[in-house]
Amino acid sequence: MPRKSHQRQQETDRSDAFRAYIAQQGLRGTRQRMAVHEAALAATSHYTADDLLQRAKAIDTTVSRATVYRTLPLLVGCGAVREVDVGRDHTYYLTENGGSGFRAQLICEQCETIVEVEAPFMEWYGKAVAAKHDMRPVSQRLQVSAVCSKCQQSKS
């Protein structure tokens, strides 16, 4: 029980933070924008803008595709959501849940299942090689294209 109310409190804090952020941008925390935020918070794995639209519509049927596309950059801007570019024609998003540090992605080439793994050594590696060349790393990513076990099975 106390755990649940704690969780609810965290969600309220995050909603307040988001509302404050969009107010800073001179925007209003409309019901639709807050539904998109709520849908993003509930997501536990990677999703596309269209996935998020479906989830947000389940919360508030008046959420439009345009609202989702306009709200996503706000969610990214305030740090609630991270863009995950896996080199496909659509961008994936992942809701941040406190975990920090460098993360790498394993992407199934066939079904586009994405697995995130902590890869702190990559951060160290990037800094080390950049320092060697008198450079300061700005960003880096590690993505492994793979075939997941499900797709391996369906092939054989």
Q: Is residue 111 within 8 Å of 150, Cβ to Cβ?
A: yes
| Residue whose CB is less far from Zn ion, 142 or 151 | 151
Residue 114: what are its φ and ψ, rounded to 5°?
-115, 130
34's CB contacts (< 8 A; 6+ apart) are 15, 18, 19
| Residue whose CB is less far from Zn ion, 35 or 84 | 84
Residue 111 CB, nearest approach to Zn ion (Å): 3
- Region of 78 please: left (phi>0), alpha (psi -120 to 50) or beta: alpha
| Residue whose CB is less far from Zn ion, 18 or 47 | 47
Q: Please give the Cα distance from 71 to 52 (Å, whole number).
A: 11
Residue 151 CB, nearest approach to Zn ion (Å): 3
Residue 91 CB, nearest approach to Zn ion (Å): 19
| Residue whose CB is less far from Zn ion, 63 or 107 | 107
Q: Which residues form the interface with Zn ion (CB under 5 A)? A: 108, 110-111, 113, 148, 151
What is the chain's alpha carbon radius of gyration, rounded to the nearest angstrom? 18
Residue 25 CB, nearest approach to Zn ion (Å): 38
Residue 48 CB, nearest approach to Zn ion (Å): 16
What letter represents residue 91's amino acid?
T
| Residue whose CB is less far from Zn ion, 53 or 107 | 107
